[in-house]
Amino acid sequence: MSTGPAATMPPAPRIPLTLIVAATPSLGIGANGALPWPPLKKEMGYFARVTKRVPATPVAPAGGPVRKNAVIMGRKTWESIPPRFRPLKDRINIVVSREPGKIVGGGAGAGAGSAAPNFSRHLNGANVAAPPAAAEAAAEVNGEQVVAAASVQGAVAKLRELDDAGVLGRAYVIGGAQLYKAALEMEEAS
C-alpha cells in the first residue's frame, strides 16, 4: 500500500440530498415571493413531519450528539418564511446566499424577531471547524443552528462536516427554483 505523496485520499462520502417540493399543476412553486396558494395547514404539517423525522440508527451511542435533519434553502426561500417561523425548528437550517454574512449577521433576512445571533463553533456538543468568513457564516438563532453558505457546494461541504461530527440525519433541499436546479445537477441529489 502506498503512503507517499502519490497516495490518494478516498473520495468524500456522498451525502444524499432529498428534494422536497410542492407544485401547482403547471409546476409552479412560487408567486411574488410566496407560495402560489393560500396556507394549507395539513400540507405544512406534513412538510414539518417529513423534514424533522430523523432516520433511526442501528446503534445510537449513549450520550452521543443529538442528530437533526438539515433543510437547505436559497435566500429568497429563507426570506419568504414568516419571521416568527424562522429558522425552521428542530432542523439545521442551511441558507445558500451570495452574501452569507447578511443571513446570520443581522442583515436583511436574518433570524426571527430581534434575537441577536449567538455565533458558535459548536453544534450539539460536537466541535465543528470554523469556516472561512467569506464562504460561510454560522449562528444559533432562537436555539436553532443556522448556516449560510455561498454556494450549493459550500452547503454540501457543511453537510459533510455535520455528518463527520455525527449530528446529521437527512438533508432536504426545500427551494427555491435556482437551488433545485443546482442540486439536481449534483450527484448527491435523489
Q: What is the DSSP string of the chain?
A: ---STT--PPPPPP--EEE-----TT----BTTB-SS---HHHHHHHHHHHH-PPP-SSPPTT-PPPEEEEEEEHHHHHHS-GGG-SPTTEEEEEE-SSHHHHHSSSTT-SSTTPPPB--SEETTEE-PPPPTTTEEEEEETTEEEEEESSHHHHHHHHHHHHHTT-EEEEEEEE-HHHHHHHHTSTTB-
Q: Is residue 87 part of a domain?
A: yes
Predicted pLDDT at 131: 42
pTM exceeds 0.85, yes or no: no
Whether 123 is in a domain gets the answer yes
In a domain, residue 8? The reply is no
**Cross-strand pairs, 95:** 73, 148
- Most confident region among 20-29, 58-67, 176-185 by mean pLDDT: 176-185
Crossing angle for the helix pair 177-184 and 152-164, to the nearest 10 degrees: 70
Is 148 part of a structural domain of the chain?
yes
What integer pLDDT is reported at residue 134 of this predicted model?
46
Which CATH number goes with the domain that contains 147?
3.40.430.10
154 within domain boundaries: yes
C-alpha grid cell, residue 145: 443552528
Q: Is 143 left (phi over 0), alpha (psi -120 to 50) or beta?
A: left
In the predicted model, what is the mean pLDDT of residues 114-130? 36
pLDDT at residue 104, rounded to an integer: 80
CB 100 within 8 A of CB 107: no
Check residue 174 and give its pLDDT: 97
CA gyration radius for the chain?
A: 17
Q: Does residue 81 lie within any of the structural domains?
A: yes
**Which tens digit of pLDDT belongs to each residue from 45-102?**
999 999 999 988 766 666 778 899 999 999 999 999 999 999 999 999 999 999 998 8
> Is the pLDDT assigned to residue 6 strictly greater than 80?
no
pLDDT of 32 above 90: no
Domain, as residue range, for 129: 17-26+42-53+66-184
Cis peptide before 74 (omega within 30 of 0): no
The model's confidence at residue 189, banded by pLDDT at 50, 70 and 90, is low
The pLDDT assigned to 117 comes to 36
Domain assignment present for 12: no
How does pLDDT run across 123-180, given as a tens digit for each residue?
Answer: 333 333 434 444 678 888 888 899 999 999 999 999 999 999 989 999 999 999 999 9
Domain count, the chain: 1
